Structure 1
């Protein structure tokens, strides 16, 4: 049945591997996690279906980067989930976006910049930025085939 083998022994910390071996490198790497939320909105000064109130199951992919800690992790996926929940989900999930977001057309292009700002605030408040964790990219899908993308270098180049 092929080359599959059942491990004869489970690796044990302090017996088979030492704590100082857990971090393999000290290079910046990125981790990415995707989330979904449901919300309704409509667009102003728009000719087409999106001028009417409608809803989406949005999918947001968040990419952060950092140098792994002594365990070999930049940020645990559960920590990234908590940041997303606080910054985005609890505010937007199952809501009418035109009522919740600042005065703006609730296009994916506008929403993604607002989301970036909220996530940056959470990273700062949680001490992540002090540890070298930075937001690298967001990808907001409005539908399975339509999305907006925002990258760190674009946000930084506009600030200068």
Structure 2
């Protein structure tokens, strides 16, 4: 049977600051991110399977992405763990705010690499992650493709 790509889109609000950056994004600010997740696989051929004809149930894909990405990053602030904003990060955490201290600079490029690893680890073995598109603004986005990696 043919391989088919399916895509599910997600959105979440996240704040960040770019440590050491020479522009405005060194300041704490936020984005309304849009994440498109495309997987590839053969539709289930077994007509006795309740998911017959599906590559993966959109609900199953939603559960993975929601647990690994959306629920973690939505309304959180992401800092590089070596940021001089660490005092601010600690203060926010002490006040019950969601803060993520990442091992990387929280650019769209690095975030999409991180998201790809997290999603790939949760997909069934017969389904592959084809691509991710992380849109930071209406005109700016980063894309990850399995074929490039």
TM over 0.5: yes
Superposed CA RMSD: 1.1
**SS of corresponding position for 1:100:** strand
1:93 Cα shift?
A: 0.9
1:131-146 to 2 correspondences below 5 Å: 132-146=126-140
CA drift of 1:45 comes to 2.0
2:87 is the counterpart of 1:93: no
Q: Higher strand share goes to which structure?
A: 2
Task: Determine which structure has more spread, i.e. the larger CA radius of gyration.
Answer: 1
- Partners of 1:118 and 1:102 in 2: CA distance: 14
- Per the normalisation by structure 2, the TM-score is 0.79
TM-score when normalising by structure 1? 0.74
Q: Give 3-state SS (helix, strand or coil) of 2:54's partner.
A: coil
For structure 1, list consecutive stretches of 5 or more residues without a partner in the other structure.
Answer: 1-25, 156-160
Q: Secondary structure at the match of 2:40?
A: strand
Would the alpha carbon gap of residues 101 and 133 (structure 1) be closer, same or farther in structure 2, given more than 3 Å must change?
farther
Task: Give structure 1 regions of 4+ aligned residues with deviation exceeding 6 angstroms.
Answer: none
Look up the match of 2:115. 115
Instruction: Give CA-to-partner distance per residue, 1:98-147, whole Å, 9 cap, x none.
Output: 14152211001111100001101111xxxx11xx1000000000001100
C-alpha separation in 2, matches of 1:113 and 1:54: 21
